[in-house]
Amino acid sequence: MNEDQLIGWLRRRTGSRSLGDDAAIVSGTGTWVVTMDTQISGVHFPPDLDPAQIARRLLAVNLSDLAAMGADPAYAFLALAVPSSFDHRRFFTALLRDCRRYRLELAGGDLARSATATAAMTLLGRPAGDRLLTRSAARPGDRLWLGGSVGEAAAGCRLVSRGARIVGRRVDLPREFAAAKNVERAARRAVRRHLSPKPQLALGRWLSACPRGAAIDVSDGLARDLHRLCAASGVGAELDLDRVPVPAELESLAPAVDCEWRDLAIAGGEDYVLLFTLPLQLEPPLHLQCTAVGSIHHGKQVLVRDQGRKARLGARGWDHLEPASTKKAP
């Protein structure tokens, strides 16, 4: 397919009239929430990753930003730059399926060729509840919450970089992991967690109906994103590591990927769960499976309590401007 043929195919599949024009026209009164996130071959995913998985992950990490704002998805824009061998049809079939699932309209974008596959996405969302969530709304006395477990995605990232893949519905592991029965199940879970993050839109929606509280999605590491939330709110925090939800299997899996489970949990990143604060009297409903993991305090110190001992928590995690070689070891 050439460019005009692909755009024609997309217009027929989506029914969108704006695809193929110079820009899209988006109507409706009130506030929009706009986010933009990128997935790059060799940085966020291995060059041979299935285009369908690239599409789904790209959409999921962008949706996670809308979840962290308490917004519902509405429109997607995609800039896709890929080598000539790239399977556009497979990419777009998966993308459009998930767009339907999340009630998103793919409304425009840009196609180009590039030696390094790069996919940038912009999402426009609408406020889901009475208020939008920000990082700056945490107040001393708030409880600190996590919307899910952390650490597995970072282990999964390491497994994928060693060759693990999802093929159909099956996770294919590198031979050394497939052979080790005690870590096999944990490894499969971790690969799924890394390649198929689940944006916490329902949690974001619930939070947006609460009168107060800050939120951020954990993409660059729990420690780093907690530091960002504290800095934006002008508060300190105490994270209780014993309460941070970490899957039991991660303890056996971590050494197999040459890591410590604590480091994966605290600084691994790409968990795409919400880290949020609520006044003491508010608790998320049980079905959202959130865990209280600490508290917000006056001052600027970010502390971690680990097996009864308190220490300063460094702002460890991903820095997107540092070269891979100097990426801070989690």
Q: Given candidates 135, 143, 188, 192, which one binds its own copies under the rule CB under 8 A?
A: 135
For residue 154, the Cα-to-chain-centroid distance in whole angstroms is 12
Asked if 14 is part of the footprint of its own copies (rule: CB under 8 A), the reply reads no
Query: What distance in Å separates the CA atoms of residue 153 and residue 270, rounded to the nearest whole number?
Result: 6
| Nearer of residues 12 and 310 to its own copies, judged by Cβ | 12
With H, G, I as helix, E, B as strand and everything else as coil, classify residue 137: helix
Asked if 58 is part of the footprint of its own copies (rule: CB under 8 A), the reply reads no
Query: What distance in Å separates the CA atoms of residue 330 and residue 323, rounded to the nearest whole number?
Result: 15
Question: Which tokens hold the place of 114?
Answer: 């590039």
Q: Given candidates 93, 102, 111, 288, which one binds its own copies under the rule CB under 8 A?
A: 111
Asked if 122 is part of the footprint of its own copies (rule: CB under 8 A), the reply reads yes
Give every CB contact of residue 293 below 8 A, 6+ residues apart in sequence.
Answer: 144, 145, 146, 239, 240, 243, 244, 245
Question: Which tokens hold the place of 309?
Answer: 């001992």
Give every CB contact of residue 127 below 8 A, 6+ residues apart in sequence.
Answer: 30, 31, 33, 70, 71, 72, 208
Asked if 33 is part of the footprint of its own copies (rule: CB under 8 A), the reply reads yes
Closest separation between CB of residue 116 and its own copies, Å?
4
Asked if 88 is part of the footprint of its own copies (rule: CB under 8 A), the reply reads yes
Query: What distance in Å separates the CA atoms of residue 228 and residue 275, rounded to the nearest whole number?
Result: 11
Strand boundaries in 83-164, DSSP class E: 105-113, 118-127, 143-146
**Residue 40: how many other CB atoms lie within 10 Å:** 14
Closest separation between CB of residue 50 and its own copies, Å?
19
Asked if 207 is part of the footprint of its own copies (rule: CB under 8 A), the reply reads no
Query: What distance in Å separates the CA atoms of residue 190 and residue 257, rounded to the nearest whole number?
Result: 11
Closest separation between CB of residue 157 and its own copies, Å?
15
**Region binding its own copies by CB under 8 A among candidate stretches 17-25, 157-165, 254-262, 296-304:** 17-25
**Region binding its own copies by CB under 8 A among candidate stretches 51-59, 121-129, 157-165, 252-260:** 121-129
| Nearer of residues 4 and 286 to its own copies, judged by Cβ | 4
| Token pair 């040459």: residue | 258
Asked if 271 is part of the footprint of its own copies (rule: CB under 8 A), the reply reads no
Q: Given candidates 13, 14, 16, 20, which one binds its own copies under the rule CB under 8 A?
A: 20
Asked if 77 is part of the footprint of its own copies (rule: CB under 8 A), the reply reads yes
Q: Given candidates 81, 146, 256, 265, which one binds its own copies under the rule CB under 8 A?
A: 81
Question: Which tokens hold the place of 177?
Answer: 């992991």
The count of chain residues that interact with its own copies, using the rule CB under 8 A, is 70
Ramachandran assignment for 109, one of left (phi > 0), alpha (psi -120 to 50 degrees), beta (any other): left
**Region binding its own copies by CB under 8 A among candidate stretches 79-87, 148-156, 162-170, 248-256:** 79-87
User: Can you give the binding site for its own copies, defined by CB under 8 A?
Assistant: 1-4, 6, 20-27, 29-38, 40, 42-44, 65-66, 68-69, 71, 75, 77-79, 81, 84, 88, 107-116, 118, 120, 122-125, 132, 134-136, 215-217, 228, 232, 319-324
